[in-house]
Amino acid sequence: MFDWLVNLTSIFVFDILGFVKGTQLGDAVHFFIFDTVKIFILLISIIYFITFIQSYFPLEKIRVYLSGKSKIVGHILFTRIKIIEENETETESLALAPLAVIPAHQRKGIGKLLINHGIDKARELQFKSVIVLGHAKYYPKFGFEAAEKWNIISPYNVPSNVFMAFELVNDGLKNVSGLVRYPKEFESL
């Protein structure tokens, strides 16, 4: 498989560099250069193969293919909301709710995958922030912080550590504060 490489490294070591073939030093240099180039070629091939696979099969599809199942095991929804300042200025944002994974598939990274994919899509759509009312120890793993940091207030009477915000871009919530207004559908919650 690597006969061409043996010939190429032989020419380089013995003809160009001038080492004597059959001597311990010449053969050692040849072996070292041959092995180094061979390992480099193999690593490049592996990287190319992985990149090729990832470009045609996004991670979420790979997981479905590998599991051999095509049923839905999780769900995430981002809804447009407004942050209303005291002077009635409105800033558009997104609410992450709900996020759900069926119990048999929890703790397998599906929620993480859904959140990261959703955040990527929100950035593509040029939103600047996301608000979530959720578990105080789960969402900070993704960069969510207490919304009170920006003086953003929940319309619900909830502890401040479960009402969080995430900036999708640098300073996505700079100079933004106020009360979050969810769509009417959230009022029955």
CATH number of the domain encompassing residue 94: 3.40.630.30
**Which of 70-74, 80-84, 116-120 is predicted with the least confidence, judged by mean pLDDT?**
70-74
Same domain? For 173 and 96 the reply is yes
Longest pairwise C-alpha distance within the chain: 87
Instruction: Of 158, 148, 146, give the one whose Cα is nearest residue 178.
Output: 148
Is 145 a domain residue?
yes
Burial of residue 131 (number of CB atoms within 10 Å: 0-12, 13-18, 19+)? buried
Reading the block at residue 73, the tokens are 């095991």
**The domain containing residue 46 runs over which residues?**
3-56
**Which of 42-51, 88-97, 103-112, 152-161 is predicted with the least confidence, judged by mean pLDDT?**
42-51
Same domain? For 47 and 18 the reply is yes
Same domain? For 87 and 178 the reply is yes
pLDDT value, residue 152:
98
Same domain? For 48 and 137 the reply is no
Is 62 a domain residue?
no
Same domain? For 133 and 90 the reply is yes
**Which of 80-84, 108-112, 159-163, 185-189 is predicted with the least confidence, judged by mean pLDDT?**
185-189
Q: Which helix (H) or strand (E) holds 95?
A: strand 90-101
Band of pLDDT at residue 179, cut at 50, 70 and 90 = very high
User: What confidence tens digit (pLDDT) does each residue in 113-155 have?
Assistant: 899 999 999 999 999 999 999 999 999 999 999 999 999 999 9
Q: What is the pTM of this model?
A: 0.64
Same domain? For 84 and 156 the reply is yes
pLDDT value, residue 53:
60
pLDDT value, residue 62:
52
Average pLDDT over residues 35-53: 79
